[in-house]
Amino acid sequence: MNKSEEKLIINEYESEFVFKKNISNLNVSFNRSAFIFFFFILISLFFSIKIFYYGSVSYKSNGFEIEKKKNFRADILDRDGSFIAKSVQTINVGINPNKVKDKKKLLLKLKLIFPEKNFNSIETKLKSNKFFYLEKKISAEEYDKVKLLGEKAIEYEPKITRIYPYSNLFSHLVGQIDEDSVGISGLEKSFNEKLMSEKDPLLLTVDTNIQYLIREELLKANKIFNTEGSASILMNINNGEIISLVSTPDFDLNKRESLKDKKFINRVTKGVYEFGSVFKTFTLANGLSNGDINVDTEFKNLPKTIYCAGRSIREYDENIPDTLTAEEILIRSGNIGSVRIAQKIGIEEFSNFLKKIGVLNKTQFELEEVGTPLPIRWGKCKLATASFGHGITTTILQLAKAYSIITNGGYEIKPTLIKNQNQNLRRKRIIKEDVSKKINSILRKIVKSKIGTANLANIPGYEVGGKTGTAQKSIGGVYSKEKINTFVSIFPISKPEFVIIVMLDEPKINKNYIYEYKDGSGFKLKGTPRNTAGWTSVEITGKILEKIGPILATKYMDFK
């Protein structure tokens, strides 16, 4: 085999990724993938050495050595064993002004050890004659220097400190602890008893490298489209393991800040939204499951506007044909066509189907920060609007679960953050396998065909399928001009492995952003034509897939 033939081919019919450079024109190779791995391994190694150093340092004060206290918590690790949270031994150093013999002399000595401190503030505290902390979580080097001062007024408080080496990266997922080392949010709260009573670490399903790459792209998206925030979840659709869960804006876990601003909500699990047209997939899948329609069932003379209880329901695209098959309704994202399908299904059947795939009711999950979809009062008009995702809410987590069930062959799954949590679960079929295959074929056309709404995610070699959703945001019970733009994608579509959802909260049009088409034409477009998911969330998903694709292919795909 010569060099030109040395290429990784993952056959489409064997349902794998395709990384053929001569087809995809992607500058992606396993050498590049190895470089990415090497880079992140160096970062992980740096943090591991730092954590090991702090954990192994033995501070001594007045003849005693710090022991593990009641508030010691077990470590939290990612799926590869990298530390996400760790308890280490530290000392807080304080001063009792009443025991200081010469305050000026003490200040001079302390300035040599802590030259960057504000000593005007320290001098004021010395005059107050009340105990105060000079330095919390003092380093071993500084501790030794302070001890050599031999100052009886300096007091040492041994502490067990929780540190988070990746700061903001897992903030919504890991959560916070209080001053008494009790979990108050995230996994720290959900598994508080286990973390405080057991020595074994909590092993998660998340991949630090992929989490980092996705977060970076979301932060860029926030700037490009001037969003209020963004979110993404990447999950294995066959076993429910969550590989990445990111919500922005996030926060530094090491600062222990009180977060009251709603902008810091976990948008993946807690935020409840109307997602718009991504619900049309559920409508079609329900119709196919019941046998009410087939993919080639034709809907003729579809109007551009219909009315229900005096309110209008319009097509978002006035150029959409008035005769469409059921398949074309989903590909073109037709509102009126989706209403007609739902009317064939009926209220009871439609609501039961949504319950079966886990959209309507609050889902069980390892985090306590889980949102509850708003209750629905079903009727003919609600059936009509819900068919295209208007007036019906759910969470991104539930959206990921529902799409997983529909595309993985119809099997129930349980999203999880805990490694090996689902390995012994019995698989239960929710919908028929042939329905799942038909939906997957249509989702692929939405990305691949020119009439689809997600062409910007059609990255050669990745076999992406998916559905866009653009919805008006309800603020104070009133629909505003602000939007929630969402793209749900499944890949590789011939044998689905992953679902990734990207949601942008209140994105804006960017007149200067350059879109680069990935069809090999080299065509570029300046400026966001429309504030829809097809021009925002889809674009960012494509950027994410280009970054994480090589890692997923080498670590999580079976090449045998």
Q: Are 298 and 324 in contact (CB under 8 A)?
A: yes
Paired residues of 488 in beta bridges: 467, 501
Please report, as a single letter, which amino acid is at residue 298: E
CATH number at residue 477: 3.40.710.10
pLDDT at res. 522: 83
Domain span at 322: 208-250+264-555
pLDDT, residue 558, reads: 58
* CA proximity to 347, closest of 378, 387, 370, 316: 378
Q: Is the pTM of this model over 0.75?
A: yes
Q: What is the mean pLDDT of the chain?
A: 88
- The CA distance from 526 to 383, in Å, is 39
Compute the average pLDDT of residues 458-480: 91
- 50 found inside a domain: no
CATH number at residue 180: 3.90.1310.10
**Chain segment 297-337, per-residue pLDDT in tens:** 999 999 999 999 999 999 988 889 999 999 999 999 999 99
Examine the domain organization and report whether 279 and 384 are in the same domain.
Answer: yes
Residue 39 lies in a domain: no
Q: How far apart are alpha carbons 444 and 465 in whole angstroms?
A: 4
First to last CA, the chain: 20
What is the average pLDDT across 367-373? 97
Do 190 and 330 belong to one domain? no
Same-domain status, 417 and 538: yes
Q: Residue 40 has what pLDDT? A: 59
Is the residue at 427 inside a domain?
yes
517-551 pLDDT per residue, tens: 887 778 899 999 999 999 999 999 999 999 999 99
Say if residues 368 and 467 touch (Cβ distance below 8 Å). no
- How many structural domains does the chain have? 2
Q: How buried is residue 109: exposed, middle or buried, by Cβ count under 10 Å (0-12/13-18/19+)?
A: middle
